[in-house]
Structure 1
Amino acid sequence: MYTYDIEQLLKDGSAIRLKPQGYSMYPLFHPGRDEAVIEAYPIHLLRRGDIILYRREQGILVLHRICRITSDGFYLVGDNQTEIEGPLRPDQIRGKLTGVVRNGKSFSVSHPVYRMLSSLWLFLRPIRPFFWRIMALFRKISSGR
């Protein structure tokens, strides 16, 4: 599916399912396994913590989380990143993540447990590198190396 087709489908009101590539949204999305359900969404209703599909100035479509909204625009960060990108103009936004499909099972991002975990992960953004180092150490210890 071409990116124009994706954008046109969203403009026409269709929900689309995409398999995110790369690891910027790990651990929420595992490349090649999970699917993102994206729908058009009113810009004025977007809030901190929402995951949006947007077009960068370079032309690529990206799926990242809103970490801050100001009068300058939207500031975004991947779940596996610490560097904030922005400001993003409203006209760059194509849609909002409304669901996730993992191993054939769907869940809504409006579920209270998802919202709580999402907020916690966003709050922990500054210490994510430390978190990943601790996890790597635990894996090393548990594997006996």
Structure 2
Amino acid sequence: MCEIVSDIRRVKSSALMPAIGEIIAGGGRVRLTVTGSSMYPFLRQGVDSVILAAVEPTALKRGSIVLVLRDNGQYVLHRIIRHKRQCFYLNGDAQQQIEGPLLPEQVVAVVTSVWRRDRHIDCRGLWWRALSALWGLALPVRGYIFAAYRWLSS
């Protein structure tokens, strides 16, 4: 029997991560609502949700969005911008600073798709990959892009 639940509760992701990690390690997928603005404009806080799945370290590619566990115990969802030997470097789409090196063991999951309201976006699709690559190339000038956007929006 199905029960409709109207009482939505927000829970800190850190409280859910052990369970999420188990589901993903067992081959399952998890859908999480995006919080924070570090991945804007590709991921929008409170609007988008992501599907997380397990990934082999050898399958990690530049442009992939991954959920990682930082050394300080914090979880973050950012994009791989550089892959070197046995480590990789991350960057939030709304940021200019690069984080790394990170080890493959720190990867909890990879984002396979995005839900923007009722629209499904496959992260392996050509359109998504092309836009992601272009945005990656814009890393040196993102600060100017966001400043222009804020100026035009005001």
TM-score (norm 1): 0.93
CA distance in 1, matches of 2:81, 2:132: 11
Alignment correspondent of 1:33: 47
Secondary structure, aligned partner of 1:95: strand
Partner Cα separation in structure 2 for residue 57 and residue 3 of structure 1 = 15
Match of 1:64 among 71, 74, 78: 78
- Displacement of 1:103: 1.0
Once residues 131 and 91 of structure 1 are traced to their aligned partners in structure 2, the CA distance between those partners, rounded to angstroms, is 34
Paired residue secondary structure (2:79): strand
Q: What is the match of residue 121 of structure 1?
A: 135
The equivalent position to 2:25 in structure 1, one of 5, 11, 16, is 11
Partner Cα distance (2:81, 2:44) in 1: 21
- Render the CA deviation track for 1:16-43: whole Å, top value 9, x for unaligned: 1111211000111111111011100111
Return the alpha-carbon distance in structure 2 between the equivalents of residues 20 and 80 of structure 1. 14
Structure 2 regions of 5+ residues with no counterpart? 1-14
- Identity, in percent, stands at 34
Deviation at 1:11, TM superposition (A): 0.1
Q: Within 2, Cα distance between the matches of 1:114 and 1:29?
A: 12
Cα deviation code 1:58-93 (max 9, x no counterpart): 112111000001125110000000000000011100
Structure 2 counterpart of 1:103, one-letter code:
R
Gaps of 5+ in 1: 141-145
Distance 1:90 1:42 in 2: 9
**Aligned position for 1:84:** 98
Q: Distance in 2 between matches of 1:16 and 1:72?
A: 27
The amino acid that maps onto 2:48 is D
What is the TM-score when the length of structure 2 is the normalising length? 0.87
Q: How many residues align?
A: 140
Separation in 2 of the partners of 1:100 and 1:21? 13
Which residue type is aligned with residue 13 of structure 1?
Answer: G
Indicate conservation of the 8 Å contact 1:9/1:16, yes or no.
Answer: yes
CA contact (8 A) 1:16 1:39 kept: yes
Which ranges of 4 or more aligned residues in structure 1 deviate by more than 6 Å? none
